[in-house]
Amino acid sequence: MSYLTKTVVYVLLVAQALANDWPIIDGYPCPQEDIDNTGCQGPKDCLYRNPENCSRFIQCTVDGLAYDMPCAEEYLHWNDGLKVCDWPENAGCTTGAFSGGSDDLVTPAPQPFQCPRKDIVNTLCLGPKDCLYTNPADCGTFIQCTVNPGNQSGTPIVMPCPAGLKWNDKKKECDWPANATCRHKK
């Protein structure tokens, strides 16, 4: 893509964001690796969960600007695995506002688990694979840490894998059992 085309696209994106009241999020660290690998060109590239509101998501541009974007309908939640706004029961959102009975989906992690402070402070759990850990009690789930106020600690939440999948800690995603790194019986 030429410099002129990139500039026009950038100007149009900024104009659309301003016209639609999509604020730029100052200080959000758009992952440079994702920008370099994808150029934020694909329909699901450079999209991330909003840690403060399940009904919104963050869209980064190739220039590293982060926009706070709404889901088309307020009752939908961001599904970071699929990179779409989805029904709350499918999205698995653990932070921000919940509608209806969605907060029933949040399961506290086993008591001994502590979110690693280093990960919380260094990443603020903003990247799609940040702050995700093996659940020592169940391979069909994983632990996702959410950042507490003050950005110095996190709250561990147990998240389910889709039926039949197990946690792969190397890839930081639910995977086929043969590829899973989790070795618990459950």
Domains of the chain: which residue ranges? 23-101, 106-179
CA dist 116 and 154 (Å) reads: 8
Reported residue count of the chain is: 186
Residue appearing with tokens 């946690």 = 167
Question: Containing H/E element for 86?
Answer: strand 84-86
Report the helix count and the strand count for the chain, using DSSP H and E. Answer: 4, 11
* Fold match between domain 23-101 and domain 106-179: yes
Strand order across the 154-160 sheet: 107-108, 154-160, 141-147, 132-134
Evaluate if residue 143 carries a pLDDT over 70: yes
Q: What is the pLDDT of residue 106?
A: 43
Q: What is the pLDDT of residue 19?
A: 47
Distance of CA 186 to the CA centre of its chain: 26
Residue 171: pLDDT band (50, 70, 90) is: very high
State the CATH architecture for 106-179: Beta Complex (2.170)
CATH code of the region 23-101: 2.170.140
CB 13 within 8 A of CB 24: no
Strand pairing of 84-86 and 132-134?
unpaired
User: What does the pLDDT look like over 20-47, one tens digit per residue?
Assistant: 456 787 777 888 888 888 888 888 889 8
Average pLDDT over residues 95-118: 54
Whether the pTM exceeds 0.75: the reply is no
